[in-house]
A and B are shown apart, each in its own frame.
Chain A
Amino acid sequence: MLYLLALVIGGLFAVALYLMLRRNIVQLVFGLLILGPATNLLIFTVGGLVRASPPIVPNGATAPPPGVADPLPQALVLTAIVIGFALTAFAAVLVKRVYKVTGTDDSDELRSTDT
């Protein structure tokens, strides 16, 4: 699975970056929308894959059983997901405003700072 996920992550990055290199600013946002999960998956995967043993202390015990998933990457990714959402929203709104103000979705036409 590690090798397959590595391939998937690489594929996500490739798609995201290809989209971000387009002239269309909507595609740019789509690129960002893929880049976030790609990065989250990367951190999650290199943190170690473990099946069906979440880092939770069972009732009655004082510590999780040995071999549970590493909680640290999960905590990192959890906040990253939420922040990523806010960032996406910000980017989407920015793009929307640009389109409204300039009337174009072509980033090549956005070279001047005056509107």
Chain B
Amino acid sequence: MIPSLILRTSARSLLVLLLLFSVFELLRGHNDPGGGFIGGLLAAAAFSLYALAYGVDPARAVLRLHPLTVAGAGLLVAAAAGAAALVRGESFLTGLWYPDPLPGIGKVSSVLVFDVGVYLVVLGTTLLIVFTLGGEEE
């Protein structure tokens, strides 16, 4: 497959924009449409477009981490967010909230951390699939 010049030129900026947008979606997900699933898919789409334009190996280089590591880390983060409640004597996965909102992020809670875990798992898994398949073709 020979990607078009247009795709190549736009992919780099699209990557940055889509990644930013994915984080935006992740953070606003609790109050407006969005969340970890959508954010993670968006981020994965960003990297996939990049891979389509430049090839899988450059895309891997941009991600730096192995997708499997990202997915595994996501599972750990989600589980840890759930376990945080255990420390406070609550049952597993009970939401804990930090009282004051942080600038730019909003209210911080274990629920948000859990959603970050979801984001990472979705991102990692999707990229694992896309990169594996793309790598196979080359």
Contact = CB atoms under 8 A, between A and B. Distances in A.
Q: Is any CB of A less than 8 Å from a CB of B in the complex?
A: yes
Contact of A79 (B37, B126, B132, B133): B37
Interface in B91-138: 122, 125-126, 129, 132-133, 136
A85 B126 contact: yes
Interface string A78-109: 11001001100100110010000000000000
Contacts of B37: 78-79, 82
A71 to B, nearest CB: 12
The A contact surface, by secondary structure, is: helix
A93 B34 CA distance: 29
The B contact surface, by secondary structure, is: helix
Interface residues of B, number: 12
A56 interface: yes
Contacts of B122: 82
B42 interface: no
Contacts of B136: 96
A79 B136 CA distance: 28
